Structure 1
């Protein structure tokens, strides 16, 4: 497997993991809780990184 494919697979996995954590935190603590917002911000960064790889 190529390095770029490994990176995208890793990023994809990280994005899915963070998405799960964010949704779970939102359900447990509310959408505006610091924990939920922190996951959301981290998720935004990873999604941007993923998008920049495929420009």
Structure 2
């Protein structure tokens, strides 16, 4: 059972990586969606840091 679970996990990880590579290729070709949080929005980490600073 553990072997099947491990194989399924590895397979899903590989599929995710492949989808990510395809997405990067589409964006590079100008066919994909823009990166999430576009429109000049700061990344989530920066927003969280700014919020922490404002609460101090």
TM-score w.r.t. the length of structure 1 is 0.51
Please give the root-mean-square deviation of Cα atoms over the aligned residues, in Å.
2.1
Counterparts of 1:1-55 in structure 2, within 5 Å, are: 2-32=3-33
Tell me which stretches of 4 or more aligned residues in structure 1 moved more than 6 Å: none
Aligned residues: 33
Question: Unaligned 5+ residue runs, structure 1?
Answer: 34-55
Q: Kindly indicate which of the two structures has a greater share of residues assigned to helix.
A: 1
Higher relative contact order (CA 8 A, sep 6+): 1
Q: Measure how far apart 1:32 and its partner are.
A: 2.5
Question: Unaligned 5+ residue runs, structure 2?
Answer: 35-56
TM-score w.r.t. the length of structure 2 is 0.50
